[in-house]
Chains A and B, each alone.
Chain A
Amino acid sequence: MNQNNVIIQLENVVKDYRIGSGYFRALKDFSISFGHGEFAGFIGPSGSGKTTALNIIGSLDQPSSGTCLVLGENISTISHRQAANLRNHQIGFIFQTYNLLPVYTVYENVEFPLLLLGLSDTGRKKMITEALEMVGLTDKIDSRPAQLSGGQAQRVAIARAIVKKPALILADEPTANLDVKNSHNILELMVKLNRELGSTFVFSTHDPKVISYLQRIIRLEDGRIVSDQPQKQEL
């Protein structure tokens, strides 16, 4: 892995959650790096620290100790404002529970990140249409999230994550609520995006379907990395 190519680097990261008067250590001496354009995922049993790791990489959470560099920013010391700026410009999130904004239409949900970036009307329209075409939802533009199926909602969430063509996309169990067919569709889509946009994907999952698509599998147990292996793709 070329050093210049590294966009995420965690070194000896520890994450403690406060529970009552004590602490629970969710990540223990956690060191890992990801290069540009990777399609990788954390796997492992429930409670092993997958979401915690993704949240720290995505600057939604801060490590208790250790360093975490993401796209040139130090997550441990970054300010609220800088973190927001980083997420705004560089990171797309896909959540297990979609987390669409219920009062807005499909179009508006996808539009939101672009509004934050301050893009012009026409620029936004082109990018939104493009993103919705990619996920195959151009016919649902004016629907509200409540009117969508789980697979459709997840595809909107993906469109929202990719619309600004971020350098890094973090997906936390993106297929947990989808059937087999939808899961494959979405994964195919992500692979395509990975190739076409060159975005780096980091997943958290225990879904075998997802795992079969990953190029790199990082197995966590009890807050530690127990294995980190490339996977040959049968294309």
Chain B
Amino acid sequence: MIRFLLKGLLRDRSRSLFPVLSVSLGVAITVLLHGWLNGVQQMMIDTNARFQTGFVRVMSQAYAENEDILPNDLALLHSDSVLQDLHSRFPDWNWHPRIRFGGLIDVPDNLGETRAQTSVLGWGLELLHPTLPAAGEYYTSEKAIFNFEPAMVAGHLPEKPGQVLLSYLLAEDLALQPGDTVTIIGSTMYAGMAVQNFTVAGFVRFGIQALDRRVLIADLADVQYALDMENAVGEIFGYPGDALFIGDSLRAMAGRYNNSQPQDNPFRPMLVALPDQMGLDQLLDIYDIFSFVIIFIFLLVMSIVLWNAGLMSGIRRYGEIGVRLAIGESHGTIYKHMLYEAGLIGIIGSVSGTLLGLSAAWYLQTYGIDISAFMKNTPMMIQDIVRARITRFSFIIGFIPGTGATILGAAISGLGIYRRQTAQLFKELET
């Protein structure tokens, strides 16, 4: 009997193939949307962590209070020992000291007169001589974090002191070539004037508009020398060397570290967790709510569509059901068969849709899609590549509309078999 019914199901493509296709499609879109929303969030977190906040970040307490203006006069002193201390207390973490500073870049012509001048954001990174060995396999070096390799558009990374990288837009604006000399004018830690010449080693393009505009990257030691910041750094960025983690565990880590510092010293090192920086936790909360609402609405719409499809196919079959009843099949058996059928369609559709959606999400996770053309004018830290992220939930979310709603639709429309007089069911067919 079951074989007989399956045979009928397979032959009637309006009952088998098309429902499976529509369920697959709906499920695939659900899974992809979910993965994409996750990916965007993960990317936001990751981008911020790499360039703005670290997963945790250590600054002097005074610097932290005014960090908007990059107050290097309040920088962390004795940075070597702070680093050593961090390293011994959190040996699984990678710690990268940085200095960020505002300044002017001055390009001389061949007579040594100023040919062009503009403001820049300077970054001092440990490019040449890392103070600490790498811990774990992620975020091991600044080169890995900034991912310079694919970002190079011309020239090469600084190989010796006195060399800098420029963002390619800045280099274009100033009509610079690798090998040219530029002068950086800034202020020292003690509010004196700092002037230093550098050789342009290469240009970089990160695909993050805020970083590609007017950034200069130099080795940390060069910047310390230029700004008179001996054994002092603005910030120390912390990255987990192993599995990615986030949220409360970072806060707990910050709490432990900060409690161990002398509370009355305004220059004491202070460790801040990613969600506690720049209102990121609110942003992440808002994002969570936002994506929950989107997914919820989408699931609702998808469920109604698939539920309706289940309903329609049930109603369309009242005639057939009437015949089967007349021939002597009981209401209960037919209802049961309708549910089996919907379950079968739902599960096959959900599985294939989930596979489809996961493949698409996997593609986005691995290769991404370049959207830089739409992002020309945003100063936000947003990467030009759209990515998705597959989580455990990606594997099950599609089954809510795919299987749940399909069965529900069949279950509700199937009740019509009971509600009507059997003789009525034929009339649905005849008219």
Using a CB–CB distance below 8 Å, which chain A residues touch chain B?
51, 55, 58-62, 80-81, 83-89, 91, 93, 95, 97, 99-104, 108, 111-113, 115-116, 160
Indicate whether B247 reaches chain A with its CB closer than 8 angstroms. Answer: no
Q: Nearest-CB distance from B324 to chain A (Å)? A: 8
Contact assessment for B429 and A112 in the assembled complex, using a CB-CB cutoff below 8 Å: no
Could you say which residues of chain B place their CB within 8 Å of the CB of A113?
327-328
Q: A60-B421, A115-B1, A116-B1 are in contact. Are A99 and B328 (CB under 8 A)?
A: no
Asked if B319 and A99 sit within 8 Å, CB to CB, the answer is yes
A61–B422 touching, CB < 8 Å: yes
Please determine whether B329 and A84 come into contact, CB atoms closer than 8 angstroms.
yes
Q: List 10 tightest A-B contacts by C-beta distance, closest first.
A: A88-B328, A84-B330, A87-B328, A55-B423, A60-B422, A60-B423, A61-B423, A103-B11, A103-B12, A99-B323
Chain A residue nearest in CB terms to B10:
A103
The answer to whether A84 touches B325, judged by C-beta atoms less than 8 angstroms apart, is yes
**Do A104 and B8 touch across chains, with their CB atoms under 8 A apart?**
yes
Q: Type the 1/0 row for B388-431, where 1 means its CB is closer than 8 Å to any CB of A.
A: 00000000000000000000000000000010011100100110
Complex CA–CA separation, A84 to B329 (angstroms): 6
B326 contacts the other chain (CB 8 A): yes
Q: A58 and B328 in contact (CB under 8 A), knowing A101-B320, A104-B8?
A: no
Residue from the list B4, B320, B333 in contact with A108, Cβ < 8 A = B4
**Bound: A104/B328 CA distance, A:** 17
Question: Distance (Å) between the CB of B421 and the closest chain A CB?
Answer: 5
Contact of B332 with A by CB under 8 A = yes
Which chain B residues lie closer than 8 Å to A103 at the CB level? 8, 11-12
| List of B residues within 8 angstroms of A58 by Cβ | 326
In the complex, how many angstroms separate the beta carbon of A91 from the nearest chain B beta carbon?
A: 8
Q: Render B255-293 as a binary contact track against A, CB cut-off 8 A, 1 for contact.
A: 000000000000000000000000000000000000000
Q: A112 near B430 (CB under 8 angstroms)?
A: no
A60, B417: Cα distance in complex, Å: 12
Residues B326 and A93 in contact, CB atoms below 8 Å apart: yes
Contacts A95-B426, A103-B8 known; A112 to B327 CB distance under 8 Å? Answer: yes
Q: What 0/1 readout, one digit per residue, does chain B (324-343) give for beta carbons within 8 Å of chain A?
A: 11111111110000000000
By the criterion CB–CB under 8 Å, are B426 and A84 in contact? no
**C-alpha spacing A58/B327, complex, angstroms:** 10
A115, B326: Cα distance in complex, Å: 14
| A83-B11 Cα distance, complex, nearest whole Å | 30
Question: Which residues of chain A come closer than 8 Å to B418, judged between CB atoms?
Answer: 80
Q: Which residues of A contact B421 (CB under 8 A)?
A: 60-62
B326:A97 contact, CB within 8 angstroms: no
Let me know if B322 is at the binding interface, CB within 8 A.
Answer: yes
B-chain residues with CB within 8 Å of residue A88 when the two chains form the complex? 327-329
Q: How far is the CA of A160 from the CA of B12 in the complex (A)?
A: 21
Contact of B323 with A84 in the complex, beta carbons under 8 Å? no
Name 25 interchain pairs, CB-CB below 8 A, sorted by A.
A58-B326, A60-B421, A62-B421, A80-B330, A80-B332, A81-B330, A84-B329, A84-B330, A84-B333, A85-B328, A87-B325, A88-B327, A91-B328, A95-B426, A97-B426, A99-B429, A101-B320, A101-B323, A103-B8, A103-B11, A104-B8, A108-B4, A113-B327, A115-B4, A116-B1
